[in-house]
Amino acid sequence: MPNFALAFFFFFLRFPKTRGGPTRAWRDGKGRRAAGGRFTDLSPRPGAPPTASLRRPITLRRVISARPPGPSPSRTTCTVLTVKASRSPVPGSGESRRCEPRTMSAPGVLSFTQQGWEQVLAKVKRALVYLDAACAESLHWGCGASRLLEAVGGPACHLREFEPAAVGGGAEQPKAVFVLSCLLKGRTVETLREIIGRSRFQYCVVVTAVSHAAHLTANHVPAAAAAELEGQPVFEQLEEKLCEWMGNMNYTAEVLHVPLWLAPVAPHLALTPAFASLFPLLPRDVHLLNRARPDKRRLGSLSEVDAAALPPELLLQIRCLVSGLSSLCEHLGVREECFAVGSLSRIIAADLASYAPAKNRRKTAAGRASVVFVDRTLDLTGAAGHHGDNLVEKIISVLPQLPGHTNDVMVNMVELTALQNEEKNQSMIAPGCLAQSNDTAAKALWEALLSTKHKEAVMEVRRHLVEAASRENLPIKMSMGRVTPGQLMSYIQLFKNNLKAIVNHCGLLQLGLATVQTLKHPQTAKWDNFLAFERLLLQSIGESTMSVVLNQLLPMIKPLNQRTKDDYSPEELLILLIYVYSVSGEFTVDKDLGEADEKVKEALARVFCEESELSPLLQKITVSACPIARSNKFVPRFSEGIALGLLPFQGVLN
């Protein structure tokens, strides 16, 4: 599954005064009303029945329903995930707006990202370009690396990863462009200095996805003082430093802000790779926050946490996200109204509503948009469950992750070569991927795969392959009936050894191979097993106690020497546990549950201990281990943040 720790959705419509939660006009530190947007908290209130229990997770449909009662229009009043501004004919009107589905000809997430990259491409001619991982992913989905290489020009590849060990430029490479997703502060500035110091640059351009306003916040400049500043002093100071590091104050240095923080996966769906680590607060985080501020009022629950209680690093990360959202709203020409479900979402929505640099934008915006923020932890069943009948979900779940990316996979392309499909040959051929930003036919297929069910998606892949083979006059043999992986592979192999045909349909072939490899993957065969267990679990929870459910799961937890290919691996067991605790809702802890809970923990600990090699996921979860010789009480020590998100046991930290 993609990394959706926190989701936000744009709805372009007019909400009348909402009764789904308190609407707050945010005030500044002196109690004055802040000139900002509006923010509505839709989170459940403490002591009140939850809006949506874990058994009935909060969904987008339920959030949308939080509008005043009244007759519903004959058509839907908003288009989900359609980032397209609808202009209100009567500014200030309180009437609701009907939003029709739009194409991407007008401003949207794709044009927003591409417009940003056009500014970068104008700077990179014959330059050595350094990118960090998040910006590389934005480029990957937005316009493709080939577009950047064309803009750079020259026979050699001048793209390099931004890291301390990156190779510098020689005398024949006097120009460098750094494209970064992070603040120009701390380790990032040190890395810049190290790369420039071992190079012979005479012209440096640094592009940051973080606005100058966020840099002022990072440098502890008060909001009142920031409003009176002229120019961009933080960027100007760095420009002087760049010239100093290049060794001549007469050399040229530029520092500019371009909001390259989105990776547009589809016209109406974008991801935020730079914020992949931004995770919602957990109940035990309240204790950590209280411990970090002993002289302040103690927080009782997550509902009491506000921005002032957060550590500076997290607060700064939120401000960077808010800065990017404000830039997107400016591109769309809208004035936003924020809604939040969850503790972290509430803080982000409040910060966006009171974001001072957006004051003038809101005054001149011709349209309005409602932005809904949702904490991922309020709906873990959506991420852990296998009830989704979507091919893309399965592709992302089973194929290996593309290195350096958070939401793309590696596709084995050996089948299109003369090499044998053996493991030693797979590393010789560059892998394919899902992002096909410059291939119209492949983009059309990708968007169809995102929005159709599994069966229809596989048939769509076959149709595109057949049409491509027909255009290339390849000897295709049609067969009716059910689409099989072997049938799809026979169509793909028609392109083998035909370089022209492969080049013409490379993107389509990558998606076709991704489909075949997913359908053949052993993990896909387990998908129905997961689904059957989840359905049985839903029945058991309605009829049995939580201890009975855990005892049903216990026989499935097997160490390495007892597992067969049909048994669950440690990672799969964690997914099942997440699902169990997510759909169970609130339950009473009794003696039977305590015993069952301990048995499951001990069985899991034994499985982790006997693994010959821990996967990257388990390495992140298990920080250290303290086995007691010949004892069943081996208990791994878990990193607090990740363990609480994955294993919601009572007292898991021992």
Q: What is the pLDDT of residues 573-587, one digit of tens each?
A: 888 888 888 887 777
237 assigned to some structural domain: yes
pTM for the model stands at 0.80
| Domain membership flag for residue 413 | yes
Tokens representing 152 are 């750079």
Distance CA 170, CA 310 (A): 45
Q: Say if residue 113 is in the same domain as residue 101.
A: no
**289/250 same-domain check:** no
Q: Is there a single domain that holds both residue 290 and residue 378?
A: yes
Asked if residue 429 belongs to a domain, the reply is yes
Per-residue tokens: 114:
């591409």
- The pair of structure tokens assigned to 502 is 């492969």
The answer to whether residues 298 and 395 belong to one domain is: no
Q: ∠ CA(376), CA(378), CA(380), 5° rounding?
A: 65
Q: Per the structure block, which two tokens stand in for 318?
A: 């939120």
Q: Taking each helix axis from N to C terminus, what angle separates 522-543 and 546-553, rounded to the nearest 10 degrees?
A: 150
DSSP string of 186-198, one letter each residue: THHHHHHHHHHHT
Inside any domain, residue 511: yes
| Per-residue pLDDT tens digits for 539-564 | 887 777 888 888 888 889 998 888 88
Residues 162 and 253 in one domain: yes
In a domain, 274, yes or no: no
Q: In 3D, which of 179, 67, 78, 200 has the Cα closest to residue 132?
A: 179
Query: What's the DSSP call for residue 514?
Result: H
Domain closes at, from 364, 383, 402: 383
**H-helix or E-strand containing 337?**
strand 334-341
Q: Which two tokens stand for residue 434?
A: 């899902």
Domain contains 166: yes
Q: What's the gap between Cα 541 and its chain centre?
A: 31
* Nearest one of 364, 361, 336, 332 to 350, comparing CA atoms: 336
Of 257, 273, 297, which one is at a domain's C-terminal end? 257
Bridge partner residues of 10 (DSSP): 371
Are 502 and 572 in a shared domain?
Answer: no
Scored b (16 or more CB within 10 A) or e, 219-235 reads eebeeeebeeeeebebb
Together in a domain, 191 and 100: no
Cβ distance 52 to 33 under 8 Å? no
Is residue 23 in some structural domain? yes
Residue 275 domain flag: no
Are 369 and 395 part of one and the same domain? no
What pLDDT sits at residue 96? 32
Under a CB-based contact definition with an 8 Å cutoff, are residues 547 and 590 in contact?
yes
Are residues 289 and 241 part of one domain?
Answer: no
Cα distances (Å, whole numbers) of residue 272 to 142, 209, 405, 406: 12, 12, 11, 9
pLDDT value of residue 6: 60
Give the pLDDT of residue 36. Answer: 61
Give residue 44's Cα distance to chain centre. 25
- Given a cut of 70, the residues of the chain with pLDDT beneath it are 1-36, 44-106, 155, 423-426, 623-654
Query: Cα 585–541–42 angle (5° rounding)?
Result: 25
Q: Residue 203 has what pLDDT?
A: 97
Q: What is the rounded CA–CA span in Å between residue 641 and residue 623?
A: 12
Domain count, the chain: 4
Residues 221 and 206 in one domain: yes
The residue out of 383, 418, 443 marking a domain boundary is 383
Whole-angstrom CA distances from 42 to 19, 53, 339, 359, 429 are 9, 14, 7, 24, 50
52 closest CA partner among 517, 639, 583, 494:
583
Host domain of residue 367: 6-105+282-383
301, 337: one domain: yes
Looking at the structure, tell me whether residues 117 and 247 fall in a common domain: yes
DSSP 649: -
Q: Could you give the CA distance from residue 112 to residue 331 in angstroms, rounded to a whole number?
A: 7
